[in-house]
Amino acid sequence: MARQRLAGNDRFRGERISAEDVNKAAGELDSFKQEDFQFDTSPDESRGLRAEFEKIRNFCLEKTNTNCLLVDKESSEKFVFPIKELVDLKFLHHISSRVTVRDRKGKIYDAYMLDISQYSGERKRRNFEMIKFWEREGDSDLRKGKLVYS
């Protein structure tokens, strides 16, 4: 996408690459990720991972309307294993290993971000909150109890 713009295939919008360009390119990457998913998993493994990913995706996009989720560090390996697999497949990204939540004293969480290819068009949705965890304000946004996935 960016190369096309810079090569002159889309000059009417200018030479600068915009957020719209990034969102469009990210959305187009989903088909490649789906191919890799199919190639890198067995049929049995694929069914379970797809089901878990759909639950996580719905949690983020439907329940919390955010791009991030938190997983309790004390969760069972059975619960965490598919999440780690989805990180390996680049459908989720591990963003922090020590997050505390204001209303859950003594608990520590791992923070994950849903891959942008899954919500690049969702930012236009009403009430969708893009947690900018890399910014100072994003740190406190990441500490919300509603982000705890269980």
Tell me what the mean pLDDT of segment 26-41 comes to. Answer: 71
Q: Which two tokens stand for residue 40?
A: 């890198």
Residue 37 has pLDDT above 50, yes or no: yes
144 touches 101 (CB < 8 A) = yes
Find, among 107, 117, 118, the residue nearest to 60 by Cα.
118
E-strand ranges in the chain read 68-72, 92-101, 104-114
Backbone angles phi, psi at 29, to 5 degrees: -70, -20
Tell me: the pLDDT tens digits for 77-130? 999 999 999 999 999 999 999 999 988 999 999 999 999 888 775 556 667 888
- Compute the distance between CA of residue 119 and CA of residue 60 in angstroms, rounded to an integer: 9
Rounded Cα distance, 12 and 33, in Å:
30
Q: Give pLDDT tens digits for 39-63.
A: 778 888 888 899 999 999 999 999 9
pLDDT interval class at 143 (50, 70, 90): very high
Amino acid at 110: D
Task: State the DSSP code for 114.
Answer: E
**What pLDDT is recorded for position 26?**
61
